[in-house]
């Protein structure tokens, strides 16, 4: 059973690495120019090996464009799904990537000595982190001299480091979630499962409570996040949330649109005048109740029935 599982793991990772980035994206003016300011961008997304190709393609494009624009991509370092495709994209774009994992996922404690450095075995993390330098919370390490203090991240980045692994401790994933958004400038969310939803909802809640001003963007591939948008609309219509939905989460059709949004809103409040204002009337038009949808159908059906009945009588 072990060999079978290992085979499936390799196959899943090969699937993401085989996805090609559109030549139009590679040669686009957007990718050929660095952004004015380098941002720390936290990215959430699926870690499932069964993630549909259309989601993986957008994830890889996201990683590649973040790299080419000079941004730091922060993610969960996963080997499968959108996270893997995203990391493949960062690697293809020769970018700076920061993976955040929980210490429970380290293999043999994860340490090997090469040239005097403390490096991390890949374990459950993506192959892009094969030789990443570790940054670990000292509260969860027996010997302080066996780790690099997370406060020195900036120093390493200035020396050209582009592969980092940050290891979180604790009895659950709360510390890991904090590490993912520590000093981040924006959040971009790809399609994902419950873990992704949890991270997204938590950041949306913090944004609504004015605990941060971070731009949060869902890459709405194939309308994946329409139910999430509908829930926000409904909550605003029912006066359960204070901020209009577009001030909490922005929805983008593509990875490029998402990156453009976070670049434009770096350090700015997300309350654009040109955004759609969610009023009660707009919500009613968008989200009619099942009964109101049935009325036109009933009237149409009744009219058609009358026409048929009249034609039969005349015969």
SS (H, E, C) the chain: CHHHHHHHHHHHHHHHHCCCCCHHHHCCHHHHCCCCCCCEEEEECCCCCCCCHHHHHHHHHHHHHHHHCCCEEEECCECCHHHHHHHHHHHHCCCEEEEEEEHHHCCHHHEEEECCEEEECCCCECHHHCCCEEEECHHHCCCHHHCECHHHHHHHHHCCCCEEEEEECCCCCHHHHHHHHCCCCEEEECCCCHHHHHHHHHHHHHHHCCCCCCCEEEECHHHCCHHHHHHHHHHHHCCCCCCCHHHCCEEECCHHHHHHHHHHCCCCCCCCCCCCCCCHHHHHHHCCCHHHHHHHHHHHHHHHHHHHHHHHHHC
Model pLDDT, residue 11: 38
Residue 126 has what pLDDT? 65
pLDDT score for 142? 32
Walking along the chain (315 residues) 10 residues at a time, the average pLDDT comes out as 38 59 87 94 95 96 96 91 93 90 63 44 60 58 38 48 78 84 95 96 95 95 97 96 95 97 79 47 52 60 70 71
Top-tier CATH class for 2-278: alpha beta
* pLDDT at residue 160, as a whole number: 47
Supply the pLDDT for residue 4. Answer: 40
Q: What pLDDT does residue 136 have?
A: 63
Q: Where are the domains of the chain?
A: 2-278, 281-314
Categorise residue 304: left if φ over 0, alpha if ψ from -120 to 50, beta otherwise.
alpha
What pLDDT is recorded for position 166? 79
Q: Distance between CA 25 and CA 52 in Å, rounded?
A: 21
């Amino acid at each position: 059973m072990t060999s079978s599982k290992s085979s499936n793991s390799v196959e899943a990772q090969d699937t993401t690495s085989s996805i090609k980035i559109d030549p139009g994206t590679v040669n686009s003016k957007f990718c050929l120019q660095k952004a004015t300011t380098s941002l720390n961008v936290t990215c959430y997304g699926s870690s499932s090996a069964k993630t549909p190709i259309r989601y993986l393609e957008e994830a890889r494009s996201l990683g590649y464009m973040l790299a080419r624009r000079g941004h730091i991509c922060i993610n969960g370092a996963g080997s499968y799904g959108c996270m893997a495709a995203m990391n493949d994209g960062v690697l293809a774009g020769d970018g700076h990537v920061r993976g955040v994992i929980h210490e429970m996922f380290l293999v043999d404690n994860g340490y090997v000595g090469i040239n005097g450095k403390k490096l991390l075995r890949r374990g459950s993390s993506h192959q892009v982190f094969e030789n990443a330098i570790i940054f670990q919370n000292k509260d969860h390490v027996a010997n302080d001299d066996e780790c690099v203090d997370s406060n020195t991240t900036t120093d390493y980045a200035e020396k050209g480091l582009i592969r980092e692994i940050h290891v979180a401790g604790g009895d659950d994933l709360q510390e890991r979630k904090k590490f993912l958004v520590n000093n981040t400038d924006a959040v971009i969310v790809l399609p994902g499962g419950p873990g992704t939803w949890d991270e997204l909802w938590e950041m949306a809640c913090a944004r609504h409570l004015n605990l941060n001003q971070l731009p949060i963007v869902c890459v709405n591939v194939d309308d994946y996040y329409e139910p999430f948008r509908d829930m926000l609309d409904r909550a605003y219509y029912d006066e359960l949330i204070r901020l209009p939905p577009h001030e909490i989460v922005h929805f983008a059709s593509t990875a490029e649109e998402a990156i453009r949004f976070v670049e434009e809103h770096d350090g700015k409040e997300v309350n654009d005048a040109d955004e759609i204002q969610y009023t009660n009337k707009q919500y009613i038009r968008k989200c009619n109740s099942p009964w109101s949808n049935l009325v036109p159908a009933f009237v149409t059906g009744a009219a058609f029935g009358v026409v048929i009945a009249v034609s039969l009588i005349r015969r």
